[in-house]
Amino acid sequence: MSINSKKKFDYLIRYTDIASALALIDQGALSFSLPGKWEDVNDRRLIEKYQQLQRKECKIFCLCLAECAETFHHWKVFTSGYSGVAIEFHREKLLNELPEEVFFNSMQYKNISHLKSQSFTLDQLPFLKRRAFQAEAEFRLVAKTLNKSFQISIGLNVIHRVVINPWMTPSVFESVRKVLETMAMIKGMQLDVIQSKLIDSPSWLAFTDGFQEEVKD
């Protein structure tokens, strides 16, 4: 169920590690997490308040995605560097496969002054965050359940591609690519696996190497 969700980007990206990518392809399931260990106490407390105000006892699980093209910030903050991967999902395909108990929205980034000048509903609480975090461009999936864990089954066709971090050496990347593509092939899926060129773009480097200052007569 969407709560005033607006399409901003064709893909939703999960920054994670190679092990999680392998598990996703093998099991065809996305795991949500409890917010209890989030570093952002502001965000964590809002989820806790949302849970406390529910009419029925439940646990709140979340899955945080990005709805923007890759940035250095995302790789550094949301992955463990050398083992980091970005799983790109087709936005509409993924959202159409969500069960009814999952609701979602783009995060609303607010200044502290907005908390006094604006009014908010209970269902907005899981999607509020301080403006200082807006570089995340987060799109959040939220689920209410009585279970101790929560995951959803998805078809592998919702995956657009897997992007490997830009720090992995070429030889290791080739090995990882072969493993991911082979596993996907066993599951009947053709998977596109590439390596991020964020920090060593061939086009950018070609411009640099070919640059010459114009000489004026």
Predicted confidence (pLDDT) at residue 1 exceeds the cutoff of 80: no
The 3-state secondary structure of 129-171, one letter per residue:
EEHHHHHHCEEEEEEEECCCCCEEECCHHHEEEEEECCCCCHH
Predicted confidence (pLDDT) at residue 159 exceeds the cutoff of 50: yes
Q: How confident is the model at residue 213 (pLDDT cuts 50, 70, 90)?
A: confident
Q: How confident is the model at residue 5 (pLDDT cuts 50, 70, 90)?
A: very low
Q: How far apart are CA 67 and CA 69, in angstroms?
A: 7
Mean pLDDT, residues 184-210 taken together = 96
3-state secondary structure of 79: coil
Largest CA distance in the chain: 79
Q: Residue 108 contacts by C-beta under 8 Å, 6 or more apart in sequence?
A: 124, 127, 128, 129
pLDDT digits (tens, 9 = 90+) for 66-118: 999 999 999 999 999 899 999 999 999 999 999 999 999 999 999 999 988 88
